[in-house]
Structure 1
Amino acid sequence: MLSRRHIIEGTAALGLVAAFPGLALAQRRAAAETVDVAQLMQPGPLGDVSIGKADAPVTIVEYASLTCGHCATFHTTILPELKKKYVETGKVRLVFREFALNQLDAAVYMLTRCMLGADGKAGEGVDQSRYFALIEVFFQQQRTWAFGGNPLEAVTAITRQAGMTQAQFEACLNNQAILDALNTTRERASTAFGVESTPTFFINGRRFLGAQPAAEFSKVIDPLLPA
């Protein structure tokens, strides 16, 4: 089970992620350009978290890491523009899926899932706003908690501000079921859809790699919208 120690030790894995940024990307360019949409849209054991209308004509599935700098760039500088243009107008639904790259990533994703409830599940009627609010803060403050000198202190402070008590914090990090589910989501993304780098997007099943400018997303999205 993950613990406070894993939050601290998890930072050691970040160097490995950053050391070979081009390898996974090169592998993905050789992958199939599209995947089976019906298979892609099957949620993981914790259920999907999403923003936008369920019946939007375009669905973007994002696999992201909270310790990934490019993912933070997308969420802080690119997604706001896409939300305003597409999500808030009912044209696009964004499904966010966790793809933990290291122990720190997994631990923090466990904490965000616990904002949905003790079991971490995004079932029918569950308010997902607290989850996305915490995800946003973790991306905005990524350099402080993921690359600072004291990840435990920084992560604890962020979750406290979100209303999580110390008891809830400890219980969440020791929830093996949530950790197993996150691992299942990551493994399925890798084996079924060839995800090996973050962020990886699937726009109505079409693979789209990296935190590209909003205009590049539009080139893919616009032709898929009703005339």
Structure 2
Amino acid sequence: MTTPTRRIAIAAALSAMAFAAAPVGAVAQAAGDMSLGNPKAKVKMVEYASLSCVHCAHFNNEVFPAFKKKYIDTGKVHYTLREVLTEPYQVAAAGFMLARCAGPEKYFTVVDAAFRGFDDMAKTGDARANLLAAAKAGGLTEAQFIACVGDGAALEALQARIAKSSEAAQISGTPTFFFNGKKVAEGAMSTIQLDAAVAAALKAPR
């Protein structure tokens, strides 16, 4: 659970990242789970991930595209991403807030862009540049970027979602994967492991 002290620290870091400016215009917000695929699919996959997690970035960049094409795009698996904050917390928080600000249709575009830029961010240490590029990939302007990461209400909503979902699932690391409500793995899964998890979920009694 995020402590009050950590909440204050994250908010301060986000303001600095945005180069503290007055909010510009209205930015769309979304709440609740963000998902891809057929809601009626027999297999429900939930991934708990952080935008500042190197293992999550590797999974997104190297493994997830093929899995998505094989299972999610074909309607066999319904995928849900649940947000978790790992150090540096302000980077993960800003990324998820920007994805929400971009709106439901662009949420995963922003998440993917943030993960795609993860290696460059790690090399340069320039988190703001990576997150701004991800925001622009989702259709946000720099003014909207500043307004979004400086939105205290959006930060509180993010932390509330995380506290609720992480406690319920007892998440201790990222990424963590559940299939049909059963915890299957903690740590990035391979293609072979994912195939096995889908097959087992299909066979398990419901």
- 1:63 aligns with 48
Distance in structure 2 (CA, Å) of the matches to 1:226 and 1:90: 17
Distance 1:160 1:191, change over 3 A: closer
The answer (yes or no) to whether the contact 1:145–1:155 under 8 Å persists in 2 is: no
The answer (yes or no) to whether the contact 2:110–2:138 under 8 Å persists in 1 is: yes
Distance in structure 2 (CA, Å) of the matches to 1:201 and 1:48: 15
Query: Which residue among 116, 133, 146 is the counterpart of 1:170?
Result: 146
Distance 1:154 1:139, change over 3 A: closer
Secondary structure, counterpart of 1:129 in structure 2: coil
Distance in structure 2 (CA, Å) of the matches to 1:69 and 1:78: 13
Equivalent residue letter for 1:218: D
Distance in structure 2 (CA, Å) of the matches to 1:58 and 1:144: 34
Distance in structure 1 (CA, Å) of the matches to 2:39 and 2:137: 30
- 1:204 aligns with 180
Distance 1:186 1:147, change over 3 A: farther
Distance in structure 2 (CA, Å) of the matches to 1:148 and 1:183: 28
Residue 215 (str. 1) matches residue 192 (str. 2): yes
Q: Give the gaps of 5 or more residues in structure 1.
A: 9-44, 117-127
Equivalent residue letter for 2:177: F
Secondary structure, counterpart of 1:225 in structure 2: helix
Distance in structure 2 (CA, Å) of the matches to 1:209 and 1:173: 29
Residue 132 (str. 1) matches residue 143 (str. 2): no
Query: Which residue among 124, 131, 149 is the counterpart of 1:155?
Result: 131
The answer (yes or no) to whether the contact 2:35–2:80 under 8 Å persists in 1 is: yes
TM-score by length of 2: 0.78
Distance in structure 2 (CA, Å) of the matches to 1:136 and 1:107: 14
Query: Which residue among 77, 84, 90 is the counterpart of 1:92?
Result: 77
Work out which structure has the larger RCO, using CA pairs closer than 8 Å and 6 or more positions apart in sequence. 1
- 1:26 aligns with none
The answer (yes or no) to whether the contact 2:101–2:148 under 8 Å persists in 1 is: yes
The answer (yes or no) to whether the contact 2:34–2:81 under 8 Å persists in 1 is: yes
- 1:48 aligns with 33
Structure 1 residue 155: deviation in Å? 2.3
- 2:100 aligns with 113
CA deviation profile, 1:125-173 (whole Å, cap 9, x unmatched): xxx3311111111111112235523222332233234431222112211
Distance 1:197 1:84, change over 3 A: same
The answer (yes or no) to whether the contact 1:63–1:98 under 8 Å persists in 2 is: yes
Secondary structure, counterpart of 1:95 in structure 2: strand
- 1:103 aligns with 90
Distance in structure 2 (CA, Å) of the matches to 1:75 and 1:137: 10
CA deviation profile, 1:103-137 (whole Å, cap 9, x unmatched): 11111211111001xxxxxxxxxxx3311111111
RMSD of aligned residue pairs (Cα, Å)? 2.3
Q: Aligned residues, how many?
A: 180
Q: Give the gaps of 5 or more residues in structure 2.
A: 1-10, 20-29
Runs ≥4 residues deviating over 6 A: none
The answer (yes or no) to whether the contact 2:48–2:82 under 8 Å persists in 1 is: yes
Report the identity percentage.
36
Query: Which residue among 151, 155, 159 is the counterpart of 1:183?
Result: 159
